[in-house]
Amino acid sequence: MRVGIVGVSGYTGLELVKLIANHPVFELTYLAASSGDTTIEDLHQSLKDVICMDVEKASVEDVKANCDLVVLALPHKTAMSFAKHLWDSDIKVVDLSADYRLELETYEKHYCEHEDRENAHNGVYGLIEYYKEAIKKAKLVASPGCYPTATLLGILPFIPYINTDMPLIVDAKSGVSGAGKGCSETTHFVTINDNIFAYNPLKHRHAPEIAEKIDDIYGKKMNVHFVPHLVPMTRGELVSIYATLKDDIDPFEVLKEHYKNDEFVRIREKTADTKSVSGTHFCDIFAAKENNMLFVSSAIDNLLRGASSQSLAAANLMCGLDESLGLPKIAYVP
């Protein structure tokens, strides 16, 4: 399988290069960014003398000539400007952006006008544990957002047992790499060092994504109140979820049973933490209750389970391979 990555100068693009370079079946045949005429070693000094490949200026024609599958590690809007030209080809596409994740109306309300309206619905949502069969047949997989990945994996097992008329409160923390490589005042070292703060409280674009997928999977429309925080770490995401139980359940047993066949979801007996999943495809989940209050804690590596390794798992399934091929399991600990 010839695999291309568009957006290799970015953070998720770099993670993809590392994962696919070690993959037993996929072969990297095309690397691109917004300008070419360079090499992957020049873009990422960490790859010096390890992976040597040219990086081209991204072009749809080159994708068509060089790839059986392409991963778009691009900002939203730019991703669909590529993907819209690939629907009539045999090339499989995994898109890391939000462009094909949402209902058209939700997308246009929270992002921008859609450039590929007729196909906006044709992507399959790439949350592996819930959309596996559809992913296997997909032409384009829309890889979930990092916060929705951690939140949905944490709360979905409990939807049958909670009062879905009550609000779902999601308090999330992310390392700075979640914002991509571009520097802004918020992500500047001086702002984030020794500091922690909420951003876009109750207005973040990932809230409608979470609500839409709960509705899609369980047919329940929930009010999702989502507050993300930026923390002074490079990678890692920890999500704390609060919901109101309607049934008397043992949260640990519910999780254990729900994910008994899912190798990459680990149910923790102690609270989840970001370091234990850093560098891996695992999502670690812990849950507890007090009276009818349910607390769920879910940890992922935003760049891997929240982005690049999740898109690789989808690519494996799309190509008829074992889902787990090339997915990292050993965390960057200590």
Ligand X SMILES: NC(=O)c1ccc[n+]([C@@H]2O[C@H](COP(=O)([O-])OP(=O)(O)OC[C@H]3O[C@@H](n4cnc5c(N)ncnc54)[C@H](OP(=O)(O)O)[C@@H]3O)[C@@H](O)[C@H]2O)c1
Known catalytic residues are: 146
Smallest distance, ligand X to C-beta of residue 73, A = 5
Q: Using CB under 6 A, which of 119, 164, 177, 278 touches ligand X?
A: 177
The footprint of ligand X on residues 128-167 (CB under 6 A) is 145-146
**Quick one: which of 4, 5, 9, 84 contacts ligand X (CB under 6 A)?**
9
**How far apart are CB 230 and ligand X at their closest, in Å?**
12
> Does residue 306 touch ligand X according to CB under 6 A?
yes
Binding of ligand X by 78 (CB under 6 A): yes
Stretch that binds ligand X, among 61-69, 125-133, 173-181, 289-297 (CB under 6 A): 173-181
Query: Shortest approach of ligand X to residue 208 CB, angstroms?
Result: 15
| Shortest Å, Cβ 27 to ligand X | 21
- HEC profile of the chain: CEEEEECCCCHHHHHHHHHHHCCCCCEEEEEEECCCCEEHHHHCHHHCCCCCCEEEECCHHHHHHHCCEEEECCCCCHHHHHHCCCCCCCCEEEECCCCCCCCHHHHHHHCCCCCCHHHCCCCEECCHHHHHHHHHCCCEEECCCHHHHHHHHHHHHHHHHECCCCCEEEEEEECHHHHCCCCCCCCCHHHHCCCCEECCCCCCCHHHHHHHHHHHHHCCCCCEEEEEEECCCCCCEEEEEEEEECCCCCHHHHHHHHCCCCCCEEECCCCCCCHHHCCCCCEEEEEEEECCEEEEEEEECCCHHHHHHHHHHHHHHHCCCCCCCCCCCCCCCC
Rounded Cα distance between 210 and 147, Å, is 9
What part of residues 221-260 is at the interface with ligand X (CB under 6 A)? none
State yes or no: residue 4 binds ligand X (CB under 6 A).
no
Among 4, 40, 66, 97, binds ligand X (CB under 6 A): 97
- 13 is an interface residue for ligand X by CB under 6 A: yes
In the list 3, 4, 5, 7, the residue contacting ligand X (rule: CB under 6 A) is 7
303 binds ligand X (CB under 6 A): yes
- 12 near ligand X, rule: CB under 6 A: yes
CB 237 to ligand X: min, Å:
8
Q: Least separation, in Å, of the C-beta of 111 and ligand X?
A: 10
- C-alpha 290/C-alpha 191 separation (Å) is 37
Interacting residue with ligand X among 126, 148, 154, 178 (CB under 6 A): 178
Piece of the chain touching ligand X by CB under 6 A; list 7-15, 110-118, 225-233, 245-253: 7-15
Residues between 30 and 69 that touch ligand X (CB under 6 A): 33-35, 58
Positions that interact with ligand X (CB under 6 A):
6-13, 33-35, 58, 73-76, 78, 96-97, 145-146, 177-178, 180-182, 302-303, 306-307
